[in-house]
Amino acid sequence: MSLIVVGSMAFDEIETPFGKSGKIIGGAATYIAWTASNFVKPVQQVSVVGGDFPEAELKALAERGVQLEGVQVKQDQKSFFWAGKYHMDMNNRDTLVTELNVLGDFEPVVPASYQDAEFLMLGNLAPAVQKSVISQMKKRPKLIAMDTMNFWMEVALDDLKEVLKMVDVLLINDAEARQLSGEYSLVRAANKIFEMGPKYLIIKKGEHGALLFHENHVFFAPALPLEDVYDPTGAGDTFAGGFIGHIARTKDISFENMKTAIIIGSAMASYCVEKFGTDRLKEITEEDIENRIRQFIDLVHFDIDLI
Ligand code: AMP
């Protein structure tokens, strides 16, 4: 029951109202792998890093059951670098720097040992790279999910539309759903996006939870109200890692099971934001995850008599 994860592995530099991170490890695929490996092994990683990427970080992932055969190390180049700044409303952030470096001319190669994977999570990355990975799969995985962002809608919309035709689930935030569809209403946006290819749409709304759309059904997962939100970077990727990790573990791609998967995604994301970068994700145990899922059940459970 393996899962392929594609995405950036990076250096990030983050500033929030609570502090500055300095240069730390980030990248969409890093967050997804740390999270999904709680639920499914092996996670089969496809990415690219420069010679500056710490050996210890790769080793720590390998020890978690993340296979790195598909991670290219370009010794004489620099890793992808992203810098961002959050203000008091941490639902929005400014991107200060995006240096593609090794990502600029990344040509992914899916190793032969990954070919049996049943699940494919395309983390945020150039749509052409996401498409190349799908095309290299000899047998179509049972479920293909993808994340993307406004940056790719602006610089690679045609490529993005090509990939959308090939995937089952799209995960984006509310602003991106509106940008992609040209619709303000998220229900209308979902219907327009269904016409582009995906059968399932997950719209992430930061501290306001997430919506799962499929045909004319919609389900809502809240975000846990937290006392301290320290750094929201990677929350979306962590959500994706929890979502696909649960689906890959259970091998059940029904709408009902996707409801559980978005609760698990939300629970994992709630841990991610408690510290800078992947620090909190590296600490949490199975018991922590169970406790947080229980908190989600308590948060939304109520009995009501119909009038
Ligand atoms: P999130 O907060 O879930 O949207 O993801 C943040 C992560 O995405 C950071 O660790 C960045 O390194 C990574 N990232 C930011 N911009 C891009 C991009 N254009 N392509 C790939 N990864 C990116």
Whole-number pLDDT of residue 287: 97
Whole-number pLDDT of residue 88: 87
The alpha carbon of 216 and the centre of ligand 1 are apart by a number of angstroms equal to 31
> Hey, whose CA ends up nearest to atom 6 of ligand 1?
234
Residues of the chain predicted below pLDDT 50: none
Site to substitute for ligand 1 among 34, 121, 149, most atoms within 8 A of C-beta: 149
pLDDT in tens, 175-198: 999 999 999 999 999 999 999 999
> Hey, whose CA ends up nearest to atom 14 of ligand 1?
27
Whole-number pLDDT of residue 228: 85
The residues lining ligand 1, judged by C-beta closer than 6 Å to any ligand atom, are 8, 10, 12, 26-28, 82, 98, 124-125, 151, 233-237
Q: Which pTM does this prediction carry? A: 0.96
Whole-number pLDDT of residue 91: 79
Give the separation between CA 121 and CA 137, rounded to whole angstroms. 13
Whole-number pLDDT of residue 82: 96
Whole-number pLDDT of residue 1: 66
Give the separation between CA 197 and CA 186, rounded to whole angstroms. 17
For every residue of 114-160, which 3-state class applies, written as one string? Answer: HCCCCEEEECCCCHHHHHHHHHHCCCCCCEEEEECCHHHHHHCHHHH
Closest CA to 19 of 122, 74, 90: 90
Tell me the helix, strand and coil percentages in the chain, rounded to 5: 40, 25, 35
The alpha carbon of 284 and the centre of ligand 1 are apart by a number of angstroms equal to 22
Give the separation between CA 30 and CA 230, rounded to whole angstroms. 19
